[in-house]
Amino acid sequence: MRRSKWLWPTLGWTTLVCLLLMLTGFGWALKDSWLPESGIALPEPSAPEKATGGDWSGKTELYVTALGDSLTKGTGDATGEGYVDRVVERLAKEMDKPVHLVNNLAINGLRADQMADRLEEKGFATAISKADIVLLTIGGNDLFQVAQDGGSLAEGGDLSPELLLERLPGLRPRLETVMSKIRELNPTARIAYVGLYNAFYDLPQMLGASDVVAQWNDYAFALAKADGNATVVPTYDLFEFDLKKYLSSDHFHPNEFGYSRIADRIVQALQ
């Protein structure tokens, strides 16, 4: 009788103590989650990577500004279209919305250092600021300069892979400056940079130039990745695999077929 008298109170107090201990532990767990102390705070979620594609779903029309050298000018294309007009037309068809060319500001023979200066001009700045897409070719004239005494492009002039490699480190900052200035003028536009190719691939003494071109393009890829809303459109393989089919008679610029293939790749990159 005496045994049963103490049994139930003992069990009751034991149960109550266990319940209090459980509630205390639960409370401390909630405290760490709701009011974390310095040093034990839960880490913030990682920021998402910057988008590498333009989200134009909310836009009823798009605007394109083209910058660059003779490739953006369309030199070598007997039809006069070049790649820019083809991109505008095909992009409008693929995206099923109007695509307008704000301006084609390409200049034959333009180098990257000269473009950097041009970007300070009001006309360039205005056209870039209005664009959803900036098409860009630059660097070919920096890298493949021929001798001032009129060296022949078809013969390679005074060019050699060794000379190109020697020039490369001093030329890279020019491209970075151009990309940075474009981004300053337009923080949101998608930049599509058309990579370089070796127009002299069929000349035995210039086969090694492809390695230098690849290094230039790799640097452009790094700049595009750092930017987060830019892309490099590769072209080197088109010309190395079928140089005669895609080069014009001047042995440097694309012909209409070459420009058409470049346009296809740009449109694919922008979708």
Answer yes or no: is 216 within a domain.
yes
Q: Is the domain of 73 the same as that of 12?
A: no
Neighbours of 151 (CB within 10 A): 14
Q: What's the predicted TM-score (pTM) here?
A: 0.77
Residues 6+ apart with CB under 8 A from 64: 84, 87, 88, 91, 99, 100, 101, 102, 131, 132, 133, 134, 135
51-74: pLDDT as tens digits: 344 678 788 999 999 999 999 999
Which domain range does residue 8 map to? Answer: 1-44
Q: At 204, is the pLDDT very low, low, confident or very high (cuts 50, 70, 90)? A: confident
pLDDT of residue 220: 97
Q: Is the domain of 134 the same as that of 23?
A: no
Mean residue pLDDT across the chain: 82
Q: Is the domain of 2 the same as that of 66?
A: no
Give the CATH number for residue 109.
3.40.50.1110
Q: Is the domain of 235 the same as that of 160?
A: yes
Can you give the three-state secondary structure of 3-52, one letter per residue?
HHHHHHHHHHHHHHHHHHHHHHHHHHHHHHHHCCCCCCCCCCCCCCCCCC
207-266: pLDDT as tens digits: 899 999 999 999 999 999 999 999 999 999 988 878 889 999 988 899 999 999 999 999
Residues 6+ apart with CB under 8 A from 143: 164, 167, 168, 171, 196, 212, 213, 216
H or E segment to which residue 67 belongs? strand 62-68
Structural domain total, the chain = 2
8 A C-beta contact, residue 77 and residue 254: yes
8 A C-beta contact, residue 254 and residue 76: yes
3-state helix, strand, coil split of the chain in percent (to 5) is 50, 10, 40
pLDDT of residue 57: 74
Neighbours of 28 (CB within 10 A): 10
Answer yes or no: is 52 within a domain.
no
How many residues make up the chain in this entry? 271
Say yes or no to pLDDT of 147 above 80: no
Answer yes or no: is 54 within a domain.
no
Answer yes or no: is 57 within a domain.
no
The 3-state DSSP class for residue 137 equals strand
Higher local confidence (pLDDT), 105 or 45: 105
Answer yes or no: is 36 within a domain.
yes
